[in-house]
């Protein structure tokens, strides 16, 4: 790959890391350029504004993690195994990010969305879109679990939203407390919503 694509990739990676590590509002274009070792002229060649870069960076982050989600939610695994793998994936990703940044980061999509929900409609909408993509994985898995009669719920779509909201809440608590141990409650909470005991 040539230098041109390298510059753009560095900007995308650095922007996502800085916003995840701090917040959108506390990160400046100057900081992004400095960390990426890119001059501001090159920045504005690719992105007309910080918000445009943030939109592209978060979309790129999704593209990078999507193959792993596809693997986790593959039909080769039973529905409940997929949910267990998903909880483990979240926990391991948060552990990796905590080691990288020095603190628990929480969900990058909900963090960005809540920060800018009343300030930048395009970023709010992008955060909602990314959350909805995750929900679709859950909805299809729960629909299959219901069809197989392995869970005690009636509405797969509603239950998927409850699970997702619960997981986001646990991630928020882990971030506030800066304790990865909070994430140990992910799988028990998900199974509780499905009315499945851990013994089962």
**Domain with 43 in it: what CATH number?**
1.10.10.60
- Domain enclosing residue 28, as ranges: 1-56
One domain, residues 52 and 77: no
149 φ/ψ sector (left φ>0, alpha ψ -120 to 50, else beta): left
- 131-157 pLDDT tens trace: 999 999 999 999 999 888 887 788 999
pLDDT at 199 over 50: no
- Paired tokens of 102: 């020095």
CATH classification of the domain holding 183: 1.10.357.10
Q: Are residues 44 and 113 in the same domain?
A: no
Find how far residue 58's CA is from the centre of its chain: 9
Is residue 153 included in any domain, yes or no? Answer: yes
**For the whole model, what pTM was predicted?**
0.89
What's the CA gap between 27 and 17, in Å, rounded?
A: 10
Q: Domain check: are 36 and 95 in the same one?
A: no
CA distance 82 to 142: 10
| 17 in the same domain as 109 | no
Asked if residue 64 is part of any domain, the answer here is no
Average pLDDT value over all residues in the chain: 91
112 and 168 together in one domain: yes
The share of the chain scoring above pLDDT 70, in percent, equals: 96
Are the C-beta atoms of residues 180 and 94 closer than 8 Å to each other? yes
Distance CA 129, CA 103 (A): 26
User: Which segment of 24-38, 45-59, 69-83, 106-120 scores lowest on mean pLDDT?
Assistant: 106-120
Where does the pLDDT of residue 4 fall: very low under 50, low under 70, confident under 90, or very high at 90 and above? low
Confidence of residue 198 (pLDDT cuts 50, 70, 90): very low
What is the domain count for the chain?
A: 2
Query: What is the rounded average pLDDT of the residues 156-169?
Result: 94
Measured over the CA atoms of residue 70, residue 75, residue 80 and residue 81, the dihedral's sign is negative
- Residues 2-6, mean pLDDT to the nearest whole number: 62
pLDDT at 153: 83
The answer to whether residue 62 sits within a structural domain is no
Do residue 26 and residue 107 come from a single domain? no
pLDDT tens readout for residues 48-100: 999 999 999 999 999 999 999 999 999 999 999 999 999 999 999 999 999 99
From 13, 28, 56, give the residue that closes a domain: 56
Answer whether residue 66 is part of any domain: no
The answer to the question of residue 61 being in a domain is no
In 3D, which of 14, 6, 57 has the Cα closest to residue 33? Answer: 14
Residue 68 lies in a domain: no
Chain mean position to CA 196: 25
* pLDDT for position 3: 54
3-state helix, strand, coil in the chain (%, to 5): 75, 0, 25
Both 48 and 93 in one domain: the answer is no
Res 125: pLDDT: 93
> Rounded distance, CA 148 to CA 85, Å?
19
Q: What is the mean pLDDT of residues 19-32?
A: 93
Task: Look up tokens 């590590």; give the residue.
Answer: 21
- On whether residue 67 sits in a domain, the answer given is no
Q: Are residues 198 and 150 in the same domain?
A: yes
CA distance 174 to 109: 15
> In the prediction, which pLDDT does 196 show?
67
């Amino acid at each position: 790959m040539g230098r041109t694509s390298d510059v753009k990739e560095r900007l995308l990676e650095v922007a996502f890391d800085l916003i995840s590590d701090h917040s959108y509002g506390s990160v400046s274009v100057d900081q992004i350029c400095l960390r990426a070792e890119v001059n501001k002229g090159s920045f504005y060649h690719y992105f007309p504004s910080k918000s445009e870069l943030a939109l592209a960076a978060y979309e790129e982050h999704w593209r990078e993690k999507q193959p792993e989600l596809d693997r986790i939610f593959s039909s080769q695994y039973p529905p409940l195994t997929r949910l267990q793998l998903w909880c483990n994936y979240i926990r391991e990703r948060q552990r990796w990010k905590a080691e990288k940044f020095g603190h628990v980061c929480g969900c990058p999509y909900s963090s960005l969305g809540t920060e800018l929900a009343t300030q930048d409609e395009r970023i709010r909408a992008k955060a909602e879109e990314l959350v909805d993509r995750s929900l679709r994985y859950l909805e299809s898995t729960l629909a299959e679990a219901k069809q197989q009669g392995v869970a005690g719920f009636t509405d797969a779509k509603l239950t998927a939203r409850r699970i997702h909201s619960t997981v986001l809440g646990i991630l928020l608590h882990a971030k506030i407390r800066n304790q990865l141990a909070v994430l140990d409650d992910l799988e028990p909470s998900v199974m509780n919503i499905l009315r499945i005991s851990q013994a089962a």
